[in-house]
Chain A
Amino acid sequence: EDKVVQSPLSLVVHEGDTVTLNCSYEVTNFRSLLWYKQEKKAPTFLFMLTSSGIEKKSGRLSSILDKKELFSILNITATQTGDSAIYLCAVEETGGGADGLTFGKGTHLIIQP
């Protein structure tokens, strides 16, 4: 059973639209949730969220975490073709050694001109 579930799996929108990507998780010892953008190379870090209700923003991107309902959303406003990528959500757990991050399968976002 997947611990981290992202939706939708793929999304096609037009430039200028606003998109909301979802990530729900089910882990025992939550420490943080991270969002990454993956183009044709390694994932690049976007946000780390540890506290509920505090929005993090970077330009047109923003993200928020709900630890009660166990989900996070990533918003992108005024989308551009350069936003086309796979957006990965990952969850870190606490407790002893690290098993790294548990990743969702990603949302494949395509922005059409």
Chain B
Amino acid sequence: NAGVMQNPRHLVRRRGQEARLRCSPMKGHSHVYWYRQLPEEGLKFMVYLQKENIIDESGMPKERFSAEFPKEGPSILRIQQVVRGDSAAYFCASSRTLQETQYFGPGTRLLVL
């Protein structure tokens, strides 16, 4: 059973471009969580999704950031018009139910030049 998969592992963008980060949850998991880790800081919750629904996006910046988890395919975290401050590691986690342990993917390291 493959673990949580994220791609790309590294992403370089210039200011103003769009970044798309993908997360494929573990088989049988329908709950996906996105976290951001800024340098020298802990992981910060961004958004929690179930299939086709955003359940909690209280940690998402109001502008430029969006997330989806379609019926088919991976969850996508989209950052439009990236700025240097968006440079961070973005981790995705999945769980089978809300009550069960979250398993983390390897992360996508975004660098904005």
Interface residues of A (CB under 8 A from B): 34, 36, 41-45, 48, 88, 90, 97-106
The answer to whether B69 has its CB under 8 Å from any CB of chain A is: no
* Prevailing SS type, chain B contact patch: strand
Interface residues of B (CB under 8 A from A): 4, 31, 33, 35, 41-45, 48, 55-56, 58-59, 91, 93, 98, 101-107
* Contact between A44 and B43, CB atoms less than 8 A apart: no
The 7 closest A-B pairs by CB, nearest first: A42-B104, A100-B45, A103-B42, A105-B42, A103-B43, A97-B56, A100-B33
Q: Which residues of A contact B102 (CB under 8 A)?
A: 100-101
Known contacts A42-B107, A45-B101: does B48 contact A88 (CB below 8 Å)?
A: no
* Contact between A100 and B35, CB atoms less than 8 A apart: yes
Q: Which residues of A contact B59 (CB under 8 A)?
A: 99-100
Q: Which residues of B contact A98 (CB under 8 A)?
A: 31, 33, 48, 55-56, 98
* Contact between A106 and B33, CB atoms less than 8 A apart: no
A-B contacts besides A99-B58, A100-B56, A100-B59, 10 pairs, CB < 8 Å: A45-B104, A98-B31, A98-B33, A98-B98, A99-B45, A100-B45, A100-B93, A101-B102, A103-B42, A104-B42
